[in-house]
Structure 1
Amino acid sequence: MRKPVISVCVTTYNQRDYIDLCLRSILDQQVDAEMQLLVGDDASTDGTSEVIAALVQEYGSRVQHLVRSPNLGAFENMCDLIGRAEGDFIARVDGDDYWLPGKLARQLAYLKCHAGCVAVFTNAVTVDEAGKILGHFNDLGDVQLDLAALVRRGNVLNNSSVLFRNGNQYAWLERSEQIDYQLHLELVRNGQLGHIAEPLAVYRVATRGSMVAASNARVRELYWQAIQSVPRDLVNDADYAHGLADFLRRVLFRSIATRSLALLRTWVARVYAVSPYGRVRMTTLVAANTLRMAGKMLVAYISFSGYEKNVLYRH
């Protein structure tokens, strides 16, 4: 096979019910570019390996099936795949998500037209484990984000939708366990991140094995580490404080959902300890962020019907 233009990296572990759809949605992309598909099968035991093996028989060398033994874990599995990627552009996908027609062609054209962007994401349709449509991943629209904007808005980008330029793998290869937001904050230091408003991927919410569902406290701690990893000389006090306010608003919503006042107290203390603003000004920022988000949710609930009112991550 000729040197690929696009390398697609897929991680999977015990996702027998989803992996066929995921891989076919990639292989069926109509794009005028040579594609390399790398599948990291992390020692699956539920029949996932057999599903992938059948696709290898069907598609031949278009699918490279890497069976791990022993289990690497999701992050190391993806790091290894990205380290093997040979394409000029690299995409990554979780094995329980999938793409919609036209995704890769749109993103490849986008990056060729926007030299200042190191990566481009798309919106995504959110579904449950059974595939029922729930709503949209975000409400960002067609935008380009710099570091300041990403710090202010928080984690709103769908990681299974990304296409980035080769040469930016360091975001995955230089760290241990981290969440998507950390990777995005690393990428944006090299250039802007584009976002296409149209949903061109499908994201499964809180599936079994999901880190967000199974280890919410750990995800919150990693999210905090991501914010703190941004060098303070790269963002001004206002951007940093707004990022802290957005984080604390998320904690507030979580504490209400779980009825845990202790959770809120713990994080109020940690946020206020590093805030560049005093308690009154910081409290005002958190209140404004919370009211703005609650207002957007209320407007969506009143104005829209069906899944259009459900947005997983509002900015």
Structure 2
Amino acid sequence: MSPPRVTVCVATCNQRGFIAQCLRSVVEQHADADLRLLVGDDASDDGTSQIVAALADEYPGTILPLRRPRRVGAFANMRDLIACADGDFVARMDGDDYWLPGKLQRQLDYLQAHADCAAVYTNAITVDAAGNRIGLFNDVGDARFDLAAMLRRGNFLNNSSVLFRASGRRAWLDVEVPQIDYRAHLWHARHGHLAHLGEPLAAYRVATRGSMVAEMNDRVRALYWEAIQSVPRGAVADADLAAGMADFMRKTAFHALRSGNASLVHEWLPRVMAASPVARWRLLALLASSVARGAAGEAWGRLADAARGGGHAVLYRR
């Protein structure tokens, strides 16, 4: 049998310090696959375009630059890349992240062995802008999740690690408005289970310049809520959907506490309660339970980190 075609969609904009490492980490995977990289360069003006062009010359037919003549934004850039992707499997990543050796083959093996899996993710190390290791993206381990679990747990998956079947392109192509990765994860979970490989096989760069999470927290919060709302009411039990809303409200309340912005709770709690599929008292009970679990998990994680001597910070805890 011929090897599967894998298209890797890389979105970049003004990431000259990171893009070469990103692209080389993909072409050096040595996976049993016909590999193609589509690089969406969103009108970079810092030298990123020249680096991408040089790497395309070095790997002709493998790295294909798609430079935007004017800036279109992160969502439109990625959506167009995924529309251009062909073959059997599609991966997506941001231009400031990179993969570790063996990642792609591990994921291909899993998808080919599990026909009911829609997408497979891996854990990631976290690094700063200089490349220094900070810790881990999550502490989930090897696991599989359905839609209900993804709602109850919230978003903890590393988006630059995903590999999905070509049919999963609809997670982006069916959406014409900006979305965050959580909405795509929920779409995949409606069409099969999601697998997570606990071994860190990617690297996620934390809070770099241009990071949407770092610089647009209010916008990310609104898009996160829209992701929850995108799940059809009949796709999960009311209790699971309500649990997802409670988890969202917990995150919002914690951010309000850390930032000293109590208006976030006043803004979002009435909206969440109005949209809840269960009674208000039940939603508040779910919220209290979510807060307790979140606080306990954070406390336990910090104790475990201290017992190991530190250096194992976890961005998203179980």
Judge same fold: TM > 0.5, yes or no.
yes
Amino acid at match of 1:306: G
**What residue number does 2:89 align with?**
89
Deviates more, 1:218-227 or 1:138-147: 138-147
**What residue number does 1:26 align with?**
26
Counterpart secondary structure, 1:178: coil
Shift of 1:84: 1.4
**What residue number does 1:191 align with?**
192
- Taking the aligned partners of 2:16 and 2:225, their CA distance within structure 1 comes to 33
RMSD of equivalent CA atoms: 1.4
- Taking the aligned partners of 1:269 and 1:167, their CA distance within structure 2 comes to 37
**What residue number does 1:273 align with?**
274
- Taking the aligned partners of 1:307 and 1:106, their CA distance within structure 2 comes to 27
**What residue number does 2:205 align with?**
204
**What residue number does 1:147 align with?**
147
Counterpart secondary structure, 1:306: coil
Output one character per residue of 1:14-50: Cα deviation in whole Å (capped at 9) or x when no partner. 0000001000100110211110111111110000011
Amino acid at match of 2:234: D
- The answer to whether the 8 A contact 2:9-2:37 is kept is yes
How do residues 1-315 of structure 1 correspond to structure 2 at under 5 angstroms?
A: 5-175=5-175, 176-304=177-305, 305-308=309-312, 310-315=313-318
- Taking the aligned partners of 1:255 and 1:262, their CA distance within structure 2 comes to 8
Shift of 1:278: 3.1
- Taking the aligned partners of 1:235 and 1:34, their CA distance within structure 2 comes to 37
- The answer to whether the 8 A contact 1:128-1:206 is kept is yes
Deviates more, 1:86-95 or 1:52-61: 52-61
Amino acid at match of 1:35: L
- Taking the aligned partners of 1:234 and 1:57, their CA distance within structure 2 comes to 47
Amino acid at match of 1:36: R
Structure 1: gaps of 5 or more residues: none
- The answer to whether the 8 A contact 1:55-1:63 is kept is yes
Structure 2: gaps of 5 or more residues: none
Amino acid at match of 1:68: R
- Taking the aligned partners of 1:166 and 1:242, their CA distance within structure 2 comes to 30
TM-score of the pair, normalised by structure 2: 0.95
- Taking the aligned partners of 1:285 and 1:50, their CA distance within structure 2 comes to 52
Q: Across the two proteins, how many residue pairs are aligned to each other?
A: 313
- Taking the aligned partners of 2:19 and 2:83, their CA distance within structure 1 comes to 22
Amino acid at match of 2:141: G
Deviates more, 1:26-35 or 1:78-87: 78-87
Output one character per residue of 1:62-83: Cα deviation in whole Å (capped at 9) or x when no partner. 2111111112211111111111
Output one character per residue of 1:54-101: Cα deviation in whole Å (capped at 9) or x when no partner. 212222222111111112211111111111112211111100000000
Counterpart secondary structure, 2:119: strand
- The answer to whether the 8 A contact 1:3-1:86 is kept is no
Amino acid at match of 1:239: D
Amino acid at match of 1:41: D
- Identity, in percent, stands at 55
- The answer to whether the 8 A contact 1:136-1:307 is kept is no
- Taking the aligned partners of 1:148 and 1:5, their CA distance within structure 2 comes to 31
Shift of 1:136: 1.3
- The answer to whether the 8 A contact 1:3-1:87 is kept is no
Counterpart secondary structure, 2:61: helix
Output one character per residue of 1:265-308: Cα deviation in whole Å (capped at 9) or x when no partner. 21111111122333333222212111111111111211223232
- The answer to whether the 8 A contact 2:3-2:32 is kept is no
- The answer to whether the 8 A contact 1:15-1:48 is kept is yes
Counterpart secondary structure, 1:168: helix
- The answer to whether the 8 A contact 2:301-2:317 is kept is no
TM-score of the pair, normalised by structure 1: 0.96
